[in-house]
Structures are given as C-alpha cells and as structure tokens.
Amino acid sequence: MNNLAELPITALKGVGDKFAQVLGKLHVSTVQDLLFHLPLRYQDRTRVTPIAALTPGLDAVIEGEVRAADVVFGRRRSLVVRLQDGSGTITLRFFHFSAAQKNRFARGARLRCYGEARRGSAGLELYHPETEIVGEETAPHPDTLTPVYPLTEGVSQGRLRGLMLQALDLLERGGVTELLPTELLPAAMRYPLADALRYLHTPPAGVDLAQLAEGQHPAQQRLAIEELLAHHLSLLEVRRGNAAIAAPPLSANAALERDFLSRLPFSLTGAQQRVCAEIAEDLASHRPMMRLLQGDVGAGKTLVAALAALKAIGTGAQVAVMAPTEILAEQHRRNFCGWLEPLGISVAWLTGSLKAAERRAQLAAIASGEAQLVVGTHALFQPEVVFHNLALVIIDEQHRFGVRQRLELREKGSADGAAGRLQPHQLIMTATPIPRTLAMSAFADLDCSVIDELPPGRQPINTVAISNERREEVMQRVQTAVAEGRQAYWVCTLIEESESLQAQAAETTANELAEVLTGMRIALVHGRLKPDEKERVMAAFKAGEVDLLVATTVIEVGVDVPNASLMIIENPERLGLAQLHQLRGRVGRGSIASHCVLLYGTPLSQNGRARLQALRQHSDGFAIAEEDLRLRGPGEILGTRQTGEIQHRIADLQRDAHLLPQVQRIAAAPALDESARRALIARWLQNKPRYAEA
Ligand code: ADP
Ligand code: MG
C-alpha cells in the first residue's frame, strides 16, 4: 500500500531535491503534507460573466472582442484596450506592457480575461487582468473552482496547482489514513477525510463561496476538528510527560500555616480555601504541579500563593516568585515580607536594577539557601542565579507564556536544584480570566483553579461612559473627589506601542490637568521612568502625598492603593476589555464606593460602543472575557505570542470554538487508540517542532 505520509514529495514528477527544499519552507515534505496545504481562497473561473453583469470588487472571467488598443499618455503611460461582448464594453488597463503584448491585442481578436473589476475614470475597468487569446487550442473553462494557495519564494500558483493534481491522483488510490473512527465524529462532520481534502482542493462549480470563505463547509469543519484534536492531544502528551518527571513532595507544616493564618486580619474566603486544597494536593505529589490559578483582580490570589509557598518553606525548600514588572515585583515583595518575615522567614529580592554589591549579596543568599523565598522579575532566571533546593516557582501574570516557556522555566529551576533531577512545582497566576473554551485548548497541559469569589465587603465599581466632549465635567469630578480626601487615577492610552510616545501623551495630559486643576498634587508615571523613579512616584501616591496620578497603562497590574476611588480612562475604546477590566480593578480596593469613567473619543464605532457597554454591565471578569472573545478574538486575550504558537492550518480558535467540547470528548474516547493519537499529532504538528518537542 502506498502511504502518502511516507511518500516524499520528490516522488512527484518535476520535484527534485532543490525544489523539495523550497517546498519545505511551506512545511511540505511528503505528499500528504502537500494535500494538507489547503487553499487560502478560491477563484471562480468556471463560467464567463457578461461585461454588463460585472460587479466592482469581484473577480470574474470575461470574454469579448478587442475594439481598440491604444497607448495613452496620461499621468502615466498606459495601454488601454477596449473589449466588447454582447452585453457591453469595458476598459482593460496595463501600465507595464511590451510591444509584443500590444500587438497581441489586435482589433477583432477574441480575448479571455480574468481579473477584478474596479471603478475607473471611464466606468468599470480591469487593471492588469490575466489575458489569453481565444483560439483553437484554448482550454475549456474548468469545472471546478481554482484554488489559491499560500506560497513562498520560488513556488508559483501554477506549479503548486500542477503538483496538487498529481497528489490528488495518488489520493484517488488511497494512501491517506482515516485516523478518526467515524462514530466519534459529530453527525454533520462524518465526511471521509479523502473526500474532504479533494473537495477543498477542487470545489465544484456553483458551490457556496461565502460558506467556504467563512470556513463553515462540512469538509472544512471535518478537517478543523481533526486539527484541533491533534493540538489537544499534543498538550495531553505534554501533561503525560509530566507524569514521568519527579518533583519534591511538599507536605503541610500545620503549625507554620496556623501561625500565618492567625496573624491575618481576615479569614480565607470559601473559594480561597477550595483552591488552597487543590494546590495542596498537587504539592503533596511526587509529580510537578503545573497549575493555572485564575481569579479576578483583588480576588486574593497572592494570599493563596503565600500559603503554597509556606508548604515548600515548611519542608526546608526554597520558593521563587516571579512578576513581569518591577512595580509588581516590588508589591509582591512588600506583601510577602509583611506576611512571612514575622514568621522568621527570610525573603530575598532580585531585579535587573539592583546595584552590583546588593546584587552579589542577594545572589549569595539565594545560593546558600539563607533566602527561603525570592521575589523578582525575569532577572530570576538569568544563568548566574543559583537556587538552593528550589521546590516551587510562582509566576504572576504570565498566562501569555506558551507551553515551551512554561517547561523551560521549570527546567531552569531544576538544573540548579540540589536534589538531582527533581523539578520544581509551578503555579501560574493570572487576573485575566480565560474563557473556558480557550483554557481547554490553549492550556490543556495545565490544571486550572479558579477563585470565583471576592473577599467580603468589596464595593462594586460604578462604571460610566462619557464622551471626550464633556472632558471639563470629568475634570470637575476629579476636583470633587480630591476635595473629599480621595485619590484618583487618570490613565492615558495610545495605540502606538512606543513607550516614548505614550510617555509624551501622558505628559501633555498631566500638564493640561495641572493647568485646570490648580492646587492639586499631580504626579506622572510612565514606562520611560527609571524603575526607582517609578517606585518613588508610586510610593508617594500610596502614602497619600499625591492626589492625582496621571499614568500610562503601566499601572495595569498589581498596584494596590485603597484610598484611590476614582479612575478616568481616556480613549478606552483603544484597549481590550480584559485590559480595561484590569485597569479598573485598581480602584475599589478599599471599602469606599468607587467610580470608573470611560472617557471615550468620538465618533465611537459600533464595536467600540458594544465593548464599553459590556464593561459597564459586567463586573465579573469571566463574563467580560467571554465578551472580549466574541468581539475581538482569542489573540487579544492570549496575546500575539500565544496565538503565534498555536497557529492552526485550517482551524480558527474563535470561529471553531464551538468544536472544542467535541474535541475534548473525542480525546477522552477509548475508541481512539494509541497509534491513532500518535499519528494525528504527527500529521498535524510534525512540522511544528516547538510544540511537538514540548
Ligand atoms: P489579587 O492578587 O488576586 O488581585 P490580592 O491577593 O492582591 O488579589 O488581594 C487583594 C486584597 O485583598 C489584598 O489587600 C489582600 O490582603 C486582601 N484579601 C485577600 N484575601 C482576603 C480575604 N479572604 N478577606 C479579606 N481580604 C482579603
Ligand atoms: Mg495580584
């Protein structure tokens, strides 16, 4: 039997080693790979459109008689051909042309053209259409749509189409294994794989092009579900790999925990208790924990993390806490020091901005094990850092890490560990609620815990949307709040990624506000400040020495100032809902009623309006995330990095999210045997080593 998965692409006529290398750039090395290289879109060349029936913006085939062909010297020299059929006349325009070309378009010649009709100065025109003189040897119109494939340098559409026809001929004789037992597929998708592939490479004339463009055809869905399944299986594989790795079991030190809890001015919420129990069970195991801890801003994740840390420290091991920014790391340091030092636990501190001597001292404390807990930024994972019996890594706000980064982090921890090949447990915290469907697919290698309850006594944040035309009024509001002894944030957003532009905009706003709000103590914080300057400003705000903090989105995560009860967000329409929700979470940290003003720019798009509305209606981060997923797609929630990693060939996480529960069900079915699982991963992911290795 010819197995196309093992038939090298060089088996096709016209493919030598050199061209095979070019195809390799398209991740095509076998005939089966080629068959899974699916069209981006289609052209309909199956029928001729009468000139009078052309629609601007649409591709079409037309056929007619050349009435005239003239070189015109306008703003640019161009060749203008008038073509006529029984229904009307149209202009073809060429800016690049040879004498030979002009001569082909002799008056009276019959011409077949393919191109997009556009509105020109003289009615509809075709710019640089593909042209062919119609004669004896002219091929008949194809009876299938013409596929347009993703290309790379050195491969043309024509050549790829030719190869595909050869591959489809081979497919006709079998050779692509049906890996999914039919009964596992949803009824609407029981489409034989070979038929689905053939259909998508050569859809018949008259097919619903819109349905194909939207990826809704059953043939596409059949492939999408298989691809999603392959990704899911590969993450489960990662999870299984986990079971082969040893980690230090961390049992509870009851006395230490009691001591810790008795010093808190509150008791744990039910959700915190439940999540702590889930974590405790993981930590007690000989296998490394890989757990994602989700909870809205202010839900009390840090406290849960501290309890997890105590389990490691209580057994004499070390814990690392990593935050994405210095401000956030500093806040963790304060929290952890405040909680742990009274228990006699020593906390070290490591960021990129430490002075050399201080850095040496901290590194020494970490290496000797004198430091029982280390808080820091990415600096924690530099090669010079040598941990001492590291048993738990806590990562804050890094859900955007991909599978590979998560595993790398864990390995870094183990490489330095004294306990041989033991790897540390990992707890990843995020305040960005991840919709269930996404979590199931993008984080299938992680266990999930959710703190779905806020500590008692929190006041809901009253959110309003006000147009920028009423800016004066909003400034007045800030005035009033400050007069009442409250503090406020004014957040500036810019589309530009550049920190210097953002900083500039924030500076301009701060000056403008200072002019209007005379006598108010205004400070500015943005990403261009040196870490210690930033720190000073934040500390002053926290100490109540600043009334109004003008900031860029650098304050997004972590910062905790209970007396700040008003937040103005300028141009909120530019940000994602999840990010807005995070920002807004900076107020309402105390027991005072808090307000958030979304100061939007006009005109507001319909989508922008819908998003601000969603933010006003919901206070639950999960509801907001679902809405964000609906309105903006998974990239916004997971970050480009993550979606870059889960680049699918045919599936689209947002469009096909409804398939994910089916995918999970199929993955859990015993009818899907071991060899089929491996073959599915190989079929869809073999050319994505980053994932396959992980
Ligand atoms: P998160 O990291 O989830 O955003 P934090 O852990 O920073 O939230 O907690 C926010 C605030 O709530 C902190 O001031 C913390 O001390 C407090 N807090 C945490 N758990 C409780 C609780 N069970 N009851 C009351 N306050 C709590
Ligand atoms: Mg936090």
Q: Are 447 and 465 in the same domain?
A: no
Q: Which of 224-238, 361-375, 523-537, 559-573 has the highest mean pLDDT?
A: 361-375
pLDDT per residue as tens digits for the range 183-227: 899 888 888 999 999 999 999 988 888 888 888 899 999 999 999
377 and 483 both lie in a single domain:
no
Rounded Cα distance between 616 and 620, Å, is 11
- Does residue 440 fall inside a structural domain? yes
Domain presence at residue 630: no
- 596 with 477: CB under 8 angstroms? no
% pLDDT > 70, the chain: 89
**Alpha carbons within 13 A on the beta-carbon side of 498:** 5
Which CATH number goes with the domain that contains 608? 3.40.50.300
Token pair in block for residue 531: 């870490």
Q: How far apart are CA 6 and CA 34, in angstroms?
A: 12
Say if 189 falls within a structural domain. Answer: no
In whole numbers, what is the pLDDT of the chain averaged over residues? 86
pLDDT band at 559 (very low <50, low <70, confident <90, very high): low
Q: Are residues 363 and 470 in the same domain?
A: no
| CB-based contacts of 498, cutoff 8 Å, min separation 6 | none
39 preceded by cis ω (within 30°)?
no
Contact by Cβ (8 Å): 555, 491: yes
Measured distance CA(238)–CA(242) in Å, rounded: 6
Residue 416 lies in a domain: yes
Q: Is residue 517 part of a domain?
A: yes
pLDDT band at 402 (very low <50, low <70, confident <90, very high): low
- Mark whether 438 and 476 lie in a shared domain: no
* Cβ partners under 8 Å of residue 470, min gap 6: none
Report the C-alpha gap between 301 and 312 in whole angstroms. Answer: 17
> What pLDDT is attached to residue 150?
86
Number of folded domains that form the chain: 3
Q: Which residue has the higher pLDDT, 536 or 635?
A: 536
In a domain, 124, yes or no: yes
Q: Judge if 297 and 431 occupy the same domain.
A: yes
pLDDT of residue 306: 97
Closest ligand 1 atom to Cα of 299: 3
Last residue of a domain, one of 587, 618, 649: 618
Q: What is the pLDDT of residues 460-493, one digit of tens each?
A: 889 999 999 999 999 999 999 999 999 999 999 8
**216 falls within a domain:** no
Q: Are residues 315 and 343 in the same domain?
A: yes
Q: CB of 206 within 8 A of CB of 144?
A: no
Regarding whether 344 and 479 lie in a shared domain, the answer is: no
Cα dihedral 140, 142, 146, 152, rounded to 10, equals -50
pLDDT digits (tens, 9 = 90+) for 104-154: 899 999 999 999 898 887 788 998 899 999 988 888 888 999 999 988 888
Find the 650 Cα to ligand 1 centroid distance in Å: 43
556 in the same domain as 411? no
Domain extent for 289: 254-451
Task: Name the more confident of 17 and 438.
Answer: 17
Q: The pTM is what? A: 0.66
Given this model, what pLDDT does residue 416 score? 47
Nearest CA residue ID for atom 10, ligand 1: 298
Higher pLDDT, 244 or 689: 244
Q: For residues 209 and 44, is the Cβ–Cβ distance under 8 A? A: yes
pLDDT given at position 498 = 63
Lowest mean pLDDT: which of 185-194, 521-530, 567-576, 644-653? 644-653
Centre of ligand 1 from the C-alpha of residue 169, in Å: 64
* Collapsed DSSP state (helix, strand, coil) of residue 216: coil
What confidence score (pLDDT) does residue 400 get? 54
Q: Is the pLDDT of residue 7 over 50?
A: yes
Q: Which ligand 1 atom minimizes the distance to the CA of 272? A: 23
Name the more confident of 34 and 407. 34
Does any domain span residue 507? Answer: yes
Distance 288 CA to ligand 2 centre (A): 23
How many angstroms separate the alpha carbon of residue 534 from the centre of ligand 1? 24
One domain, residues 560 and 437: no
Residue 1 pLDDT > 60, yes or no? no
Q: Last residue of a domain, which of 564, 592, 618? A: 618
Residue 441 and residue 486 in one domain: no
Which CATH number do you get for residue 75?
A: 2.40.50.140
- 8 Å CB contact between 450 and 295: yes
- Cα–Cα distance between 693 and 672 in angstroms, integer? 22
Whether 573 and 621 have beta carbons less than 8 Å apart is answered as no
431 lines ligand 1 (CB under 6 A): yes
Query: Is the CB of residue 224 less than 8 Å from the CB of residue 216?
Result: no
**Amino acid sitting at position 452:** D
State which of 133, 159, 190 marks the end of a domain: 133
- 542 and 567 fall within a common domain: yes
Q: Strand 290-295 vs strand 447-451: parallel, antiparallel, or unpaired? A: parallel
| Block residue for tokens 């010649």 | 109
Find the ligand nearest to 338 CA.
Answer: 1
Q: Find out whether the beta carbon of 298 lies less than 6 Å from any atom of ligand 1.
A: yes
Cα(351)–Cα(36) distance, rounded to whole angstroms? Answer: 47
Do 532 and 383 fall within a single domain? no
